[in-house]
């Protein structure tokens, strides 16, 4: 008979206080764990391990480096499909992505590539909440329910979000055309005061020249969101991340925080990274073509020495349900940058329109009375 997985099998191991045996929580901005009961601080031992860049092709071909695989237990949210971990001994909670109820009966066992490094939280819940409140206060036409929601500190949850990074050397061959502006004067006729007159104007024309060339370009740490639970465009706007502060993976940095497992597979992540690199390569090709205008007829790129990392980045997240839609708010756990979706109050917008119409009516009435 198959046994049901338990939360203690998640990616996060329970870290207990040596003084009172309570659960320790990572203290943002430090290299220590904090006990919320007796205030004891416990240092996280620093690792001398070098963060590995894993050979992409070799890993896919032979699964060499299988030691980076792990089996974990996650809770699948029925509301949004996110796969998140719970702290040990927690049997239910709310999904940080959509606020749906999570229970351990929804737990699933997954075999995944283990994270090789983590960027620890740099700001705590109080700091993140302060930035979140300031951001909400600047939203015009926000529903009153959102304003009330934004004064509750517990609305923000700390979660480590999965990302891939990719490095690659590229070799690129291109052909196209360079367009240079030149100017000529031309005569034209027009009618003025009932008479046909001839005038001169300056016209911009383009002289096209065929060009071709080749160049190399190296990419380092092209970042790809490995979650499908966050709105992509807002997650992208949380950048930049100080990836130079990544530390070798240590589950103690995760203590007290949720962790999402990746839903974008390694190969799909590289396809997304290629799109980012392709866009940059096209932009560089245009620069190399030069001139005032550029046409790219062909651009052939080869990708060599591709490596990857699986990393976890810190995000404070809040989910607000308004009418039938869930709105997500994200706070960069390092910088405090806030991004997110936002609802509008139809009543407030309608009220403003009515006030404008009333003002226009009053102005029209005053003008009419003065002209009368």
133 exposure class (CB count in 10 Å sphere: 0-12, 13-18, 19+): middle
Give yes or no: residues 314 and 292 share one domain: yes
The DSSP H or E segment spanning 349 is helix 346-371
What is the structure's pLDDT at 55? 93
**Which one of 44-53, 103-112, 165-174, 198-207 scores highest in mean pLDDT?**
165-174
Q: Is residue 290 part of a domain?
A: yes
What is the structure's pLDDT at 295? 97
307 versus 345: the higher-pLDDT residue is 307
Give yes or no: residues 107 and 204 share one domain: no
What is the structure's pLDDT at 105? 55
Give yes or no: residues 262 and 183 share one domain: no
pLDDT over threshold 50, residue 1: no
- pTM given for the model: 0.78
Boundary residue ending a domain (209, 226, 257) = 209
Mean pLDDT, rounded, for 208-231: 94
Domain extent, residue 274, equals: 7-173+211-341
Q: Is residue 368 part of a domain?
A: no
Cα separation, 88 vs 78, whole angstroms:
21
What is the structure's pLDDT at 362? 78
Mean pLDDT, rounded, for 146-161: 73
Q: Is residue 1 part of a domain?
A: no
Q: Is residue 356 part of a domain?
A: no
What is the structure's pLDDT at 172? 98
Residue-wise pLDDT for 278-312, tens only, equals: 999 999 999 999 999 999 999 999 999 999 999 99
Give yes or no: residues 101 and 16 share one domain: yes
43 versus 106: the higher-pLDDT residue is 43
pLDDT over threshold 50, residue 183: yes
Mean residue pLDDT of the chain comes to 82
What is the structure's pLDDT at 68? 58
Counting residues of the chain whose pLDDT is more than 90, the rounded percentage is 41
pLDDT over threshold 90, residue 144: no
Contact 156, 168 (CB under 8 A): no
Residue-wise pLDDT for 322-342, tens only, equals: 666 777 888 999 999 988 776
CA distances, 156 to each of 332, 365, 369 (Å): 12, 51, 57
Residue-wise pLDDT for 353-368, tens only, equals: 777 878 787 777 777 7
What is the structure's pLDDT at 104? 54
Mean pLDDT, rounded, for 153-181: 92
Number of domains the chain contains: 2
Residues whose CB is less than 8 angstroms from the CB of residue 193 and which lie 6 or more positions away in sequence, other chains included: none
329 versus 145: the higher-pLDDT residue is 329
Give yes or no: residues 189 and 265 share one domain: no
Give yes or no: residues 258 and 121 share one domain: yes
What is the structure's pLDDT at 133? 82
Of 175, 250, 268, 184, the residue nearest 213 (C-alpha): 175
95 exposure class (CB count in 10 Å sphere: 0-12, 13-18, 19+): buried
Of 80-84, 135-139, 235-239, where does mean pLDDT reach its minimum?
A: 80-84
Mean pLDDT, rounded, for 88-104: 59
Q: Is residue 192 part of a domain?
A: yes
Give yes or no: residues 63 and 189 share one domain: no
Of 3-17, 120-134, 311-325, where does mean pLDDT reach its minimum?
A: 3-17
Q: Is residue 371 part of a domain?
A: no
13 versus 170: the higher-pLDDT residue is 170
Residue-wise pLDDT for 6-43, tens only, equals: 333 334 455 788 888 778 889 999 999 888 888 888 88
In the three-class reduction of DSSP (H, G, I as helix; E, B as strand; rest coil), residue 207 is classed as strand
């Amino acid at each position: 008979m198959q046994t049901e997985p338990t939360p203690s099998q998640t990616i996060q191991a329970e870290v207990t206080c040596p003084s009172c045996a309570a659960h320790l929580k990572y203290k943002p901005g430090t290299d220590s764990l904090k006990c919320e009961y007796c205030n004891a601080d416990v240092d996280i031992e620093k690792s001398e391990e070098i963060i590995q860049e894993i050979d992409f092709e070799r890993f896919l071909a032979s699964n060499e480096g299988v030691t980076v695989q792990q089996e974990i237990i996650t809770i699948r949210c029925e509301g949004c499909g996110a796969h998140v971990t719970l702290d040990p001994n927690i049997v239910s909670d709310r999904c940080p992505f959509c606020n749906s109820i999570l229970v351990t009966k929804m737990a699933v066992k997954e075999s995944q590539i283990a994270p090789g490094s983590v960027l620890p939280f740099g700001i705590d819940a109080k700091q993140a909440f302060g930035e979140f409140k300031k951001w909400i206060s600047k939203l015009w036409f926000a529903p009153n329910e959102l304003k009330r929601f934004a004064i509750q500190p517990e609305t923000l949850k700390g979660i480590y979000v999965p990302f891939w990074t990719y490095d690659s050397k590229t070799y690129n061959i291109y052909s196209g055309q360079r367009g240079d502006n030149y100017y000529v004067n031309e005569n034209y006729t027009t009618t003025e005061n009932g008479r046909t007159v001839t005038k001169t104007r300056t016209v911009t024309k383009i002289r096209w020249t065929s060009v071709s060339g080749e160049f190399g370009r190296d990419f380092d740490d092209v970042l790809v969101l490995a979650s499908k639970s966050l709105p992509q465009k807002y997650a992208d706007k949380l950048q930049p991340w100080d990836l130079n502060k990544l530390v070798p993976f240590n589950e103690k940095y995760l203590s007290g925080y949720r962790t999402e497992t990746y839903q974008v597979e390694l190969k799909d992540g590289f396809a997304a990274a290629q799109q980012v690199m392709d866009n940059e390569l096209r932009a560089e090709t245009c620069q190399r073509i030069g001139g005032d205008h550029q046409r790219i007829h062909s651009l052939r790129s080869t990708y060599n020495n591709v490596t990857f990392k699986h990393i976890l980045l810190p995000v404070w997240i809040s989910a607000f349900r308004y009418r039938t839609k869930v709105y997500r708010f994200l706070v960069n756990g390092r910088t405090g940058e806030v991004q997110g979706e936002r609802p509008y109050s139809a009543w407030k917008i309608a009220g403003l329109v009515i006030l404008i119409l009333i003002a226009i009516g009053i102005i029209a009435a005053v003008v009419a009375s003065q002209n009368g």
